[in-house]
Amino acid sequence: MSTSAAESSTTGRNLWIKQPLACFTANNSDATNGVVICGDQIIEMVAEGQQPISEIHQIFDAREHVLLPGLINTHHHFYQTLTRACPPALNKKLFPWLQTLYPIWAKLTPEAHATATELAMVELMLSGCTTAADHHYLFPHGMEQAIDQQAEVALKLGMRATFTRGSMTLSQKDGGLPPETVVQTEQQILDDSESLIKHWHQQDENSLVEIALAPCSPFSVTQDIMKASAVLAEKYNVGLHTHLAETEDENDFCLKMFGLRPLDYLESVGWLNNRTWLAHGIHFNDEEIQRLGKAGTGICHCPSSNMVLASGICRVRELVQAGAPVGLGVDGSASNDHSNLMQEMRQALLIQRLRYEADEFTHFDALTLATKGSASVLRRQNIGELAVGKKADFALFKLDEPRFSGAHDPLAALVLCGASQADAVMINGEWKVKNKEWLEGDIEALMAKHQQAAKTLYS
């Protein structure tokens, strides 16, 4: 379904998202009667019983909608949407799982990668996600421009994204896990990293695209590339990202290879700071959690992936109490098999209830993870909550499915009853989804193209 510029844009005209059924602001402010936006920003919060002070040119009647800040996904591997439910990788632990999939992923082509990126981003958008961080670390021959491709897709979609330039230098012959065909030299990695920062990081007119540096994991790169990435990130003030403490096997591997636990190793290469966020962060001890909080190092909680691979349960409550930013991520589809951030929020609530008491992790905590918490992890100050001056990124949900019938608290119902698809999504003041349909493309054609690419890759 397509839409005209007049239908999708609010530029230069004040839009009142009026009287939502319920509203989660992520900051305890009152927006019971909705929000007013002009262009790409929120200009007014309308409290209960109040009318807007601003002149209103357009109204979106939200009486049947639950209004949230746009959801933020802080860890994904878009290319892995091509290997969902892949038979050789089913029912395996992390290391054997990786070793099974690396030879398949090594056949990735630029065309398949661009299609996977678009499909993953649209799928996320339909679930209410407005900002996504992707971790791409696989660069077989011909894939040297992979991050440039992703940035172009994000700008075409008009979706906010942080693309993390991943890397691997240690192949199987060097004691790592991946085949030699997908690793690169340190110079290749550093040259491309600097080029990507200069060309893409906050360079588009709407600052949609950001770049971060992301060696895949401590067991896939050398200490030199970890140290050099930290120096480059500090030079350009960009983020650092990697997988860490996902499994006990990884902890054992780090002890064997470096004589250090993963967090000690991270500190030894200059990564224990507030530019860094870590995917998973499950197997930290009490002392390490305090160090993470003191450093302001972020953690991305990936509940579905952690359950699929039986990795463990992230200690979210202790991390937050220690001062570490904690956000939410769907992780790669090969270890999750969907890119739905709204569903991931429910998974976060349920898995955390296995660690904490029912009143110690609430639906509000789950909502915060996917909004303000994730914004803090990505160091994005202008998104993740509803407040004057923040970007006009919204997800609106209707409670019009059988699963919601009989629900009394609309916000709680979104999480507990299992909302999965947004009715309307706005990014940067532009409507991207209405009536649960992607407005700017043909979803059926995209799915057909993606399915063919998946069949070609796994053949």
Answer whether residue 81 is part of any domain.
yes
What are residue 243's DSSP bridge partners? 279
Alpha-carbon gap, residue 295 to 275, rounded angstroms: 9
If we measure between CA atoms, which residue out of 4, 68, 73, 51 comes closest to residue 333?
73
The CATH number of the domain holding residue 429 is 2.30.40.10
Answer whether residue 224 is part of any domain.
yes
Q: Are residues 127 and 268 in the same domain?
A: yes
Answer whether residue 194 is part of any domain.
yes
Q: Are residues 306 and 168 in the same domain?
A: yes
The CATH number of the domain holding residue 147 is 3.20.20.140
pLDDT at site 4: 32
Q: Are residues 313 and 411 in the same domain?
A: no
Alpha-carbon gap, residue 433 to 439, rounded angstroms: 5
Q: Are residues 87 and 231 in the same domain?
A: yes
If we measure between CA atoms, which residue out of 34, 23, 42 comes closest to residue 390?
42
Alpha-carbon gap, residue 345 to 66, rounded angstroms: 15
What's this model's pTM, rounded to 2 decimal places?
Answer: 0.96
Alpha-carbon gap, residue 202 to 181, rounded angstroms: 32
Examine the fold and report which residue of 348, 377, 406 is the final residue of a domain before the chain moves on: 377
Answer whether residue 445 is part of any domain.
no
Q: Are residues 231 and 367 in the same domain?
A: yes
What are residue 299's DSSP bridge partners? 278, 326
Q: Are residues 144 and 271 in the same domain?
A: yes
Count of structural domains within the chain? 2
Alpha-carbon gap, residue 363 to 369, rounded angstroms: 10
What are residue 437's DSSP bridge partners? 434
Q: Are residues 177 and 323 in the same domain?
A: yes
Residue 203 DSSP class: T
Q: Are residues 346 and 264 in the same domain?
A: yes
Answer whether residue 383 is part of any domain.
no
Answer whether residue 133 is part of any domain.
yes
Please report where in the chains the tokens 């993963």 appear, as a residue: 262
Which amino acid is present at 122? V
Residue 249 sits in which domain range? 71-377
Long-range Cβ contacts of 312-316 (<8 Å, 24+ apart): 312/247, 312/248, 312/282, 312/283, 313/282, 313/351, 313/352, 313/354, 313/355, 314/280, 314/281, 314/282, 315/282, 315/284, 315/289, 315/355, 316/348, 316/352, 316/355, 316/361, 316/365, 316/369
pLDDT at site 425: 98
Q: Are residues 20 and 113 in the same domain?
A: no
Token pair for 370: 């996917």
Q: Are residues 183 and 129 in the same domain?
A: yes
Answer whether residue 104 is part of any domain.
yes
Alpha-carbon gap, residue 262 to 300, rounded angstroms: 16
Q: Are residues 210 and 175 in the same domain?
A: yes
Residue 177 DSSP class: S
Alpha-carbon gap, residue 152 to 333, rounded angstroms: 21
Crossing angle, helix 94-105 and helix 248-258, to 10 degrees?
80
Residue 89: half-sphere exposure toward Cβ, Cα within 13 Å: 25
Examine the fold and report which residue of 324, 349, 377 is the final residue of a domain before the chain moves on: 377
Q: Are residues 335 and 365 in the same domain?
A: yes
Relative to beta strand 58-61, strand 326-328 is unpaired
Residue numbers of the chain with a pLDDT score lower than 70: 1-12
Contact status, residue 47 vs residue 33, Cβ threshold 8 Å: yes
Alpha-carbon gap, residue 345 to 415, rounded angstroms: 7
Alpha-carbon gap, residue 446 to 116, rounded angstroms: 9
Answer whether residue 450 is part of any domain.
no
Contact status, residue 306 vs residue 270, Cβ threshold 8 Å: no
